[in-house]
Amino acid sequence: MREIIFDTETTGFDPASGDRLVEIGCIELINRVPTGRTFHAYYNPQRDMPSAAEAVHGLSSQFLSDKPLFREGVAELMDFLEDSPLVAHNARFDFGFLNHELKLCARDAVSMDRMIDTVAIARTLHPGAKHSLDALCTRYGIDRSHRVKHGALLDAELLAQLYVELTGGRQIGLGLAQEEEKEIVRVELTETAVVRPVRPARVFTASAEELERHAAFVAKLDKPLWLEEAPPA
């Protein structure tokens, strides 16, 4: 099964108010295993970059000024996505910006039926815990030491590792399902099998002599703690 892990960087939180998509990074998985195929692109948003957004991803208006417009690279992006399920962290955010850009290009929106949200999966598995990408990477031991700022392709790479862990761990895709097709070997007793006699349970009650020796030992103890009076409450 082919799936695409993707992440976006934007100028803000709301495409309806004029915010635009400025970066997208995609990772291809086949049977939950990365194939090495990726897609990564920056886009000129044709607007200024708010300082708050730049502080998150480090993409300045100057850096993006010579990048192509989304509509100029949309065909290449859609060829990579094909009709595969799309996995994102807080996926409605990323789907919202992707579909907004597609609308501006007079292209059909990506169906929400293709959406897989890793935040929703994490909330089911770990209710009440923190569900940010950083927190979940820490929980699953995924190295993010090289992540200084947000970046679409870097975050997609981290999310690909996290998605595998959230959906069953690294054993997925190793062909374990084939084991179910193997004949089950059953070990049966034969007439030549060694049958061992059943012995009665051993009795561990102390004998009268042992109890007498124990009482004599206790009598020699000097002020044992269990005989001291409890202090007043």
Residues marked as catalytic: 150
Q: How far apart are CA 48 and CA 82, in angstroms?
A: 31
| 14 labelled binding-site residue | no
Instruction: Tell me: pLDDT of 206 over 80.
Output: no
Residue 7 marked in a binding site? yes
Burial class (CB in 10 A: 0-12, 13-18, 19+), 87: buried
What is the per-residue pLDDT for 173?
45
Q: What gap in Å lies between CA 144 and CA 204, rounded to an integer?
A: 58
Q: What is the pLDDT of residues 46-63, one digit of tens each?
A: 999 999 999 999 999 999
For 116, how many CA atoms within 13 A lie in the half-sphere containing its CB? 17
**Residue 165 marked in a binding site:** no
Could you tell me if 108 and 114 are in contact, meaning their C-beta atoms sit under 8 angstroms apart?
no
State the pLDDT confidence band at 196, using cuts at 50, 70 and 90: low
Residue range 136-163, pLDDT digits in tens = 999 999 998 776 668 899 999 999 999 9
Please check if 9 is assigned to a binding site.
Answer: yes
Q: State the DSSP H helix or E strand holding residue 27, giving kind and residue range, or none if neither.
A: strand 21-30
Mean pLDDT, residues 71-86 taken together: 98
- CATH number of this structure's domain 2-174, picked from the four choices 3.30.70.260, 3.30.420.10, 3.30.70.3040, 3.40.50.880: 3.30.420.10
